[in-house]
Structure 1
Amino acid sequence: MAAAEVHRGARAHIRNIYEKGGTAVLFGNLLKDLPAWLISLVVHLVAILLLGLWYDEPSEDSPSITLATSISYEDLEGGRDMAEQTPEAFEFEDPGAIEMPGNVEVAGAPSRHVDLEPMEVPIDVPDPVGRLPSALTRSTTPLPPAPMGRMFAGRDPQARARAVERSGGTSFTEAAGARGLKFLARHQNPDGSWSLEKFHRSPDCDRTCDGAGQMRNDAAATALALLPFLGAGQTHEEGEYATEVFKGLNWLLRHQEEDGDLRGEGPRISQMYAHAQAAIVLCEAYAMTGDEQLREAAQMALNFIMHAQNTQGDWPGGWRYEPGEWGDTSVLGWQLMALKSGQMSYLQVLPRTFEMAGYYLDRAQTDRIGERYGYQPGHPPTEAMTAEALLCRQYLGWPKDRPGLKSGVQYLLREHPPNRKQPNIYYWYYATQVMRHFGGEPWERWNAKMSETLVAMQEKRGHAAGSWTPRGQGNSSGHAETGGRIYMTSLAVCILEVYYRHMPLYGEDVLEGAQ
């Protein structure tokens, strides 16, 4: 707190000086007190630096990104007549207070009413008012490609093919992913957004697509649709879908509040999901391009998440539908992935935020070693919450040989393998990432079944070709009909990009030898 007061005082002092004479006063006072020899040294150093910047060594053109797929005219014809659907506000099933069986041991019973001081945002983050970009602008001269962090390195066009080959991908998974992107691009709204419940009204849709979602939140839809484009290495600066990504990012920036809020307009239960998904998009787009126009917006989105973390009550450290509300495992997973995306993009995230999230997970686990997890502390375990929590544990630093992780992976693989007859896209999205990071035989077994299932489930004919049809209701289906066809397709393509979307956490170098 003292450091924050000093920081605010210094900033006020500088502002006061500026108002009295601007930078001339600052530099005038500084230069007046400097010895002549030091001024001469500084002048010569600046001259040398300018000469160094003057010489710009030419670089090779960056490789283009080509997505190899085609959909025949026959496949684009036909389809089903779609009755107009009137989406209604949908609420996710809340398991409610469930009494735990007596034989389930919960590690570390939560202490009652842990109250913690509110967190401060990361230092050195400028005042957001008037600084957040309202729209992206394109540079008139091509910029050199930004060096991606290790976790995003597989998206580079030079490395992607090697990652697919070494990680278990095939030409079938790549073609299915490319067809999915084509479908998403055809259903973007003119203003750059996507919609869950009215995607079939986009200008390029022939109105034969069914599968409209039951949720209204264009911020969530836009973020979800952009994730697989970024996962495929597409950015607003290069790629086959650069225009679609550019328009989508612009829409998010136009709808971001001054405090970083990206929750959008929609049901209360959807808003923190939407914010986290949009924050991931901004962080990844910044990491992949180095575009400074995105840096401030991404950092403010992360700050909003850090402020929204619950710090009081029986199980602090989580997030839910409103800032400060007691958490649940589902919402926590998306916020944590956004924060980790920011950290991997070299943005500022407070370590304490991760520590608190781990504290919540300790209470949400339903056994001594952390093999399984419930929707909230005191709730029974589910496969979806277990997969989401285990992925969080991996990113929070659990080693591969941690008993809870090893046992949890086997539990998911043994009792909840991919099953086309019981689709659960939400569970598959998280479990596939857990298995990919874990690697070895569990990953090989999971990937063989998961990739085969998704490719087989993809629509092959009609205007909906390239998409995935939502099937099922509620938690058991991963809320497929709530999110609809855009939600299903976005997550399905992200799953098919798992070979290169993020590099494995446990040291496997699938890019070794890539040119």
Structure 2
Amino acid sequence: MPRENDMSDTTTPNTVADATSVPVIVPPPLAASLQRAANANAAPETAPLLAVSQSDADSPKLFRQGQIQSCLVSTIVHLIALLIFAIVTYSASQVSPTMISLWGRQVEPTATVTLEVAKDHSELENQLSSDAEKPVDVTIAQSDASAIQSPLIMESQSAILESSELGQIKAGSTAASSAQLIRLPGGGLSGRTPQGRKELGEKYGATAQSEAAVEAALQWLALHQRPNGSWSFNLDVDPCNGRCRHSRISGDSPTPSTGATGLALLAFLGAGHTHHTGEHSETVRRGIYYLRGIASESEHGLDWQSGSMYSHGIVLMALGEALTMTRVDDKYDSDLMDLVRRGSYFTSVAQHYNGSWGYVPGSPGDTTLTGWQVMSLLAAKRNGIHFRGNELPMAKEFLMSVKEETDWTFGYKTPQGEPTMDAIALTLLLYLGHAPGHTLFDQAIDRIADRGPTLTNVYHDYYASLALHHTRHRDWDKFNSKLRDHLVRSQATQGHESGSWHFKDKWGDVGGRLYTTAMSAMILEIYYRYLPLYDKIEEFPL
């Protein structure tokens, strides 16, 4: 059957289908003018391109019938296609773009599975020591006393304990008082007032003799302030001019005047003297003025190193405490605020990536240097000063890196335990949020109490006193009375040395008599210098 517009070159152009065959769809005849033009241009011997039978040309009726039938077929086909398209479109519009279809088949019933939402473990992250000023609400169930659980918030204890800790927990804690402690808004300086010294001194173990020793020490320090407002570990310079024995020993360790000045100021501030109030206000003012003038400008803030990060940390700690103590109705001394803010930024940048601080900014450090930097940043943080935010967590990581794997003893730079490092590290961890109640931590505090004060190494005895004071250890009275009475008895009472101390010790020899005197005074101020971080529940009824 010829197709529509078929242009076959058949040799029988006059043959057409009869009337009963399927009609051939042919194009309409050309207009007469176009037909004549086509015939004129065609070669005589060539057959016409479009051959139309004579019978079809003479039968207009048949031609019209073919047109009608082809139109009907086309119309029906297009109508069916439109209906199919409409049905598909309508079905697609009824399905949401986000709908998910699930197909399944019925099977044997299985056990019911309940899905639970995983707990957010962010609450278990360590809280930094800025929370030390915030009270913790404690609720104690009204039940048998033996069933009462420890009310402590375990702020820094990991949910996964070391295997060695599990056995200790099963055996029970040796820290009998830890379950009776409550976290206080402690660590603050509000006890440094005449009334606070009296009340807290009586409560925590001061005596009239120990308070007299503090006053004598401050008087000796005031008499050894240099004309420019500074102090020096070298007692051969004015105003002492060598009249006191046991000046610093010259050696490789730098002993700059910035460190000596900061240490002396800490002793005055601990007893409540500031540049605004107290008998020694002028002495304190001159010391702060000296530190302001000698600060070195750097691209990372103010620098008081003068050769050692020890000095920078001690100075920043002193200025931070002075800023807190002179705050009035949340208003700060603007000059001091600027010094502390810029100094703390330098401390932040100087930290090594392992979390410690060294003698040189950015170098790996040790536990003793890190201790001063942490305490100085805490003093800045107490005034609402913010830094990069990860300095204190990094410092805690460093401390844990120098901890013995199976025991809570700490080393200088490596996990090789040493009593002075234990006292420093445990004190810092308390400030960094590690609460009593952890068995091995409590046992480490117990060891400090059991060893007792060294009576010669004031560096150890200073930090050991802080650790036991902040945890309100059950053996505090025994430890304190031994150390307190020793300091009262051993204080010089004659000549130019009157009011000072010096003990033969590797650290004491480096700093000499001025270092030993300032540290000893701060030990005897322990009762009111810082409010304890923890105290017994019965002393704070709910």
Structure 1 residue 437: Cα displacement: 0.5
Map 1:299-338 → 2, pairs under 5 A: 299-311=341-353, 316-338=354-376
Kept in 2: contact 1:229–1:235 (CA 8 A):
yes
Structure 2 counterpart of 1:459: 492
1:433 is aligned, of 466, 473, 491, to 466
Kept in 2: contact 1:252–1:262 (CA 8 A):
no
CA distance in 2, matches of 1:226, 1:343: 19
Indicate how the Cα distance of structure 1 residues 382 and 250 shifts in structure 2: closer, same or farther if over 3 A, else same: same
Structure 2 counterpart of 1:221: 260
Map 1:62-101 → 2, pairs under 5 A: none
Indicate how the Cα distance of structure 1 residues 348 and 206 shifts in structure 2: closer, same or farther if over 3 A, else same: same
CA distance in 1, matches of 2:286, 2:341: 20
Amino acid at match of 2:449: L
Map 1:213-362 → 2, pairs under 5 A: 213-214=248-249, 216-259=255-298, 260-266=301-307, 271-290=308-327, 291-311=333-353, 316-362=354-400
Structure 2 counterpart of 1:135: none
CA distance in 2, matches of 1:511, 1:337: 28
Indicate how the Cα distance of structure 1 residues 419 and 326 shifts in structure 2: closer, same or farther if over 3 A, else same: closer
Structure 2 counterpart of 1:497: 525
1:480 is aligned, of 508, 519, 529, to 508
Structure 2 residue 221 is the aligned partner of structure 1 residue 188? no
What RMSD in Å do the two structures reach over aligned CA positions? 2.4
CA distance in 1, matches of 2:358, 2:280: 33
Structure 2 counterpart of 1:136: none
CA distance in 2, matches of 1:169, 1:283: 26
CA distance in 2, matches of 1:176, 1:510: 32
Kept in 1: contact 2:267–2:521 (CA 8 A):
yes
Structure 1 counterpart of 2:441: 405
Listed one character per residue, the Cα deviations across residues 18-48 of structure 1 (whole Å, up to 9, x for unaligned) are: xxxxxxxxxxxxxxxxxxxxxxxxxxxxxxx
Structure 1 residue 200: Cα displacement: 4.5
CA distance in 2, matches of 1:509, 1:340: 26
Structure 1 residue 454: Cα displacement: 1.2
Structure 1 residue 261: Cα displacement: 3.6
Kept in 2: contact 1:154–1:511 (CA 8 A):
no
Structure 1 residue 257: Cα displacement: 1.8
TM-score, normalised via structure 1 length: 0.64
Indicate how the Cα distance of structure 1 residues 330 and 510 shifts in structure 2: closer, same or farther if over 3 A, else same: farther
Amino acid at match of 2:526: V
Kept in 2: contact 1:183–1:464 (CA 8 A):
yes
Amino acid at match of 1:503: L
**Tell me, what secondary structure is at the counterpart of 2:324?**
helix
Structure 2 counterpart of 1:366: 404
Map 1:413-428 → 2, pairs under 5 A: 413-414=449-450, 416-420=451-455, 423-428=456-461
**Tell me, what secondary structure is at the counterpart of 2:462?**
helix
Structure 1 residue 106: Cα displacement: 11
Kept in 2: contact 1:187–1:200 (CA 8 A):
no
Structure 2 counterpart of 1:390: 426
Structure 1 residue 511: Cα displacement: 11
Structure 1 residue 412: Cα displacement: 1.6
CA distance in 1, matches of 2:258, 2:295: 10
Structure 2 residue 245 is the aligned partner of structure 1 residue 210? yes
Structure 2 residue runs without a partner (length 5+): 1-162, 166-184, 328-332
Kept in 2: contact 1:162–1:510 (CA 8 A):
no
CA distance in 2, matches of 1:106, 1:389: 20
Between Structure 1 and Structure 2, how many residues are aligned? 349
**Tell me, what secondary structure is at the counterpart of 2:338?**
helix
Q: Which of the pair has the greater relative contact order for Cα pairs under 8 Å at 6+ separation?
A: 1
Structure 1 residue 366: Cα displacement: 1.0
Amino acid at match of 1:171: A
**Tell me, what secondary structure is at the counterpart of 1:365?**
coil
Kept in 2: contact 1:319–1:335 (CA 8 A):
yes
CA distance in 1, matches of 2:489, 2:365: 36
Kept in 2: contact 1:166–1:510 (CA 8 A):
no
Amino acid at match of 1:262: D
Structure 2 counterpart of 1:154: 191
Percent of aligned pairs with the same amino acid: 33
CA distance in 1, matches of 2:342, 2:537: 33
Structure 1 residue 149: Cα displacement: 8.9
Kept in 1: contact 2:427–2:467 (CA 8 A):
yes
Structure 1 counterpart of 2:7: none
Structure 1 residue 307: Cα displacement: 0.7
Indicate how the Cα distance of structure 1 residues 510 and 384 shifts in structure 2: closer, same or farther if over 3 A, else same: farther
Kept in 2: contact 1:277–1:338 (CA 8 A):
yes
**Tell me, what secondary structure is at the counterpart of 2:191?**
helix
Amino acid at match of 1:362: M
CA distance in 2, matches of 1:434, 1:454: 19
Indicate how the Cα distance of structure 1 residues 509 and 281 shifts in structure 2: closer, same or farther if over 3 A, else same: farther
Kept in 2: contact 1:320–1:332 (CA 8 A):
yes
CA distance in 1, matches of 2:229, 2:445: 39
Structure 1 residue 508: Cα displacement: 5.8
**Tell me, what secondary structure is at the counterpart of 2:244?**
coil
Structure 1 residue 492: Cα displacement: 0.4
Structure 1 counterpart of 2:479: 446
